[in-house]
Amino acid sequence: MAAEPVNLNEFQELARLALPKMYYDFYAGGAEDEHTLKENVEAFHRITFRPRILVDVSRIDLSTTILDYKISAPIIIAPTAWHKLANPEGEVATARAAASCNTIMVLSFTSSSSIEEVAASCNAVCFYQLYVLKKRDIAATLVQRAERNGFKALVLTADAPRLGRREADIKNKMIKPQLKNLEGLLSTKVSSDTGSNLEADAREAMDASLSWKDLEWLRSITNLPILIKGILTREDAIKAVEVGVAGIIVSNHGARQLDYSPATISVLEEVVHAVKGRVPILMDGGVRRGTDVFKALALGAQAVLIGRPVVYGLAAKGEYGVRRVIEMLKDEFELTMALTGCPSVKHITRNHVRTEHERIH
Ligand code: FNR
C-alpha cells in the first residue's frame, strides 16, 4: 500500500503512479505553454500574512454559508470531467465524499456518472455545471433533470466557447469517453487516429455564439439560482451582476483554456471591488494549501473550489482519497486561522494578508 500522503501535492504523485499516462496528463495538463498553470499556484506563494497574536483561538469555527447552504468549511468541489477515468465509481464516489465532509459538489456537464446516479447515491448538496451546446434543447433537458433530482443551483461555465489547446492530449491522442448525461441526446464519436478529438468534438458541439443576452433565456428555463464561472475582469463581473446572476466564480478553468490568463488569485480583488458585495464571489485555480484558502477569503472570496486535487485523491484512493483531500485542506485552513488570530471565517479580513505590491513600512 502506498504511503499516506501528508499534503495535497503528495496526492498528485500518487495519482501519477496510479493512472495511465494519457489520463494523468489529461487531468494535470493546462493550455499551451502552461504559463497560467504554474502561475495559478505560484501567485499564492507571493502573498504573505499579517498574523495577529494574542487572540483567543481556543475554538475555531470554519463553517460558512453559500447560497443558504451551511457547509463545514469554505471549500467546495469544482466541476471536473470524467471521474471514472480516475476510479470506477466515478462521480458517485466524489459526491459521497462531499456528503461526508459536509460540503458542496459541482457536478460537471462532462461527467461519467449521470445526474440521477449522483442524486441517488447520497445526500450531498449538488450544483450542476452547464455548457450550452448548439442544440439548446439539450441544455434545457439537462437543467430540468438537475432540478428534478434536487440539484440546488446551476453553474454556467462561460470561458469555453472553444476548447483550449492542451498539447499533452494532442500528443497522447486522448480519447473522449462517454458523456453519461448526453446518452441518447447527442451522438458522440468514440475515437480518432489523428490526434486528440476533444477539441474538434467540442467545436462541433459547443455553442460559440452564446452571449450575455442568453442569460435571459437560461433564466427563463429554470428557477434555480445561476452562478457564472470563468470571470476574470471587473467589466464581466459588472455585467454578470447586471444580468442577475446569484454568484460569480473567478476562474480560468484551471489554466486549461487561455494560456497567459492571469492567475485567479491575482484578479480576485479586482472582481470583489467591482461587485461591491452584491453577489457572493467564489474562486478556483491553484488552491493546494489551507493557507491558500485563507488568502482567497482575505481577498474577498466567500469560498474556494478545488479541481485537480479532488481527482488526484479519487485516482489514488477512491472516495476515501477525496475525503482525505478535503479533510487535509480543512485541517490546514483551521491551523492557518489559529495562527493568524481568526476564530471564525468572519474574522478573516483584508488586513490579514499582504500582496507583493504592498510595501512593508
Ligand atoms: C476542469 N474544469 C472544468 N470546469 C468546468 O466548468 N467543467 C468541466 O467539465 C471541467 N473539467 C475539468 C477537467 C479537469 C481534468 C480539470 C483539471 C479541470 C475546471 C475546474 O472546474 C476548475 O476551474 C479548475 O480545475 C480549478 O483549478 P485547480 O483546482 O485544478 O487548480
Q: Please determine, for residue 144, whether its predicted confidence score (pLDDT) is greater than 80.
A: yes
CA-nearest residue for atom 5, ligand 1, is: 79
CA-nearest residue for atom 18, ligand 1, is: 80
The Cα 160–Cα 256 span in angstroms is 10
Determine the distance from the C-alpha atom of residue 241 to the mean position of all C-alpha atoms in its chain, rounded to a whole number.
Answer: 20
pLDDT score for 333: 99
Is the beta carbon of 257 within 6 A of some atom in ligand 1?
Answer: no
The Cα 257–Cα 237 span in angstroms is 19
Q: Please determine, for residue 31, whether its predicted confidence score (pLDDT) is greater than 80.
A: yes
Q: Helix, strand or coil for residue 34?
A: coil
Q: How confident is the model at residue 199 (pLDDT cuts 50, 70, 90)?
A: confident
Q: What is the ipTM of this complex?
A: 0.99
Give the cell for residue 231. 470571470
pLDDT score for 361: 60
Amino acid at 47: I
The Cα 281–Cα 271 span in angstroms is 8
Q: Please determine, for residue 329, whether its predicted confidence score (pLDDT) is greater than 60.
A: yes
Q: Please determine, for residue 310, whether its predicted confidence score (pLDDT) is greater than 90.
A: yes
Helices 264-275, 234-242: axis angle to 10 degrees equals: 50
pLDDT score for 198: 74
Give the cell for residue 87. 476510479
- Which residues are CB-contacts of 128 (< 8 A; sequence separation ≥ 6)? 106, 107, 109, 115, 142, 143, 146, 151, 153, 154, 155, 224
- Report the helix count and the strand count for the chain, using DSSP H and E: 13, 12
Q: If phi over 0 gives left and psi between -120 and 50 gives alpha, with beta otherwise, what is residue 283?
A: beta
CA-nearest of 57, 60, 224, 64 to 156 is 224
* Distance between Cα 324 and ligand 1 center (Å): 19
CA-nearest residue for atom 19, ligand 1, is: 253
The Cα 53–Cα 57 span in angstroms is 10
Summarised one tens digit per residue, pLDDT across range 33-52 is 999 999 999 999 999 999 99
Contact between 160 and 27 under an 8 Å Cβ cutoff? The reply is no
Q: How confident is the model at residue 200 (pLDDT cuts 50, 70, 90)?
A: confident
Q: Taking residues 225-234, what's their average pLDDT?
A: 98
Helices 290-298, 308-340: axis angle to 10 degrees equals: 70
Helices 35-45, 290-298: axis angle to 10 degrees equals: 80
Q: Please determine, for residue 142, whether its predicted confidence score (pLDDT) is greater than 90.
A: yes
Contact between 282 and 248 under an 8 Å Cβ cutoff? The reply is yes
More confident residue, 103 or 185: 103
CA-nearest residue for atom 13, ligand 1, is: 80
CA-nearest residue for atom 12, ligand 1, is: 80
Summarised one tens digit per residue, pLDDT across range 258-294 is 999 999 999 999 999 999 999 999 999 999 999 999 9
**Which of 22, 159, 253, 306 for a ligand 1 pocket mutation test, highest count of atoms within 8 Å of Cβ?**
253
pLDDT score for 203: 77
pLDDT score for 202: 75
pLDDT score for 120: 97
**Which of 45, 250, 256 for a ligand 1 pocket mutation test, highest count of atoms within 8 Å of Cβ?**
256
More confident residue, 203 or 244: 244
* Distance between Cα 74 and ligand 1 center (Å): 18
Q: How confident is the model at residue 360 (pLDDT cuts 50, 70, 90)?
A: low
Q: How confident is the model at residue 187 (pLDDT cuts 50, 70, 90)?
A: low
Q: Taking residues 148-167, what's their average pLDDT?
A: 96
Amino acid at 179: L
* Distance between Cα 255 and ligand 1 center (Å): 9
Give the cell for residue 240. 454578470
Across the chain, what does the average pLDDT equal?
94
Q: Please determine, for residue 125, whether its predicted confidence score (pLDDT) is greater than 80.
A: yes
Q: Taking residues 310-317, what's their average pLDDT?
A: 98
Is the beta carbon of 172 within 6 A of some atom in ligand 1?
Answer: no
The Cα 36–Cα 48 span in angstroms is 20
Contact between 93 and 322 under an 8 Å Cβ cutoff? The reply is yes
Sign of CA dihedral 281, 119, 93, 190: negative
Is residue 347 among the annotated active site residues? no
Q: Please determine, for residue 195, whether its predicted confidence score (pLDDT) is greater than 60.
A: no
CA-nearest of 68, 41, 99, 49 to 341 is 49
Summarised one tens digit per residue, pLDDT across range 289-303 is 999 999 999 999 999
Q: How confident is the model at residue 176 (pLDDT cuts 50, 70, 90)?
A: confident
Q: Taking residues 99-103, what's their average pLDDT?
A: 98
Q: Taking residues 191-207, what's their average pLDDT?
A: 69
Q: Ligand 1, residue 29: give the atom nearest the CA.
A: 17
CB atoms within 10 A of CB 165: 16
Contact between 86 and 48 under an 8 Å Cβ cutoff? The reply is no
Cell numbers 492557518 correspond to what residue? 336
From the list 35, 45, 83, 253, the catalytic residue is: 253
Of all residues in the chain, what percent carry a pLDDT higher than 70? 96
Burial 305-339 (b: 16+ CB within 10 A, else e): bbbbbbbbbbbbbbbebbbbbbbbbbebbbebbbe
pLDDT score for 186: 74
pTM across the whole model: 0.96
On the CB side of 301, CA atoms within 13 Å amount to 27
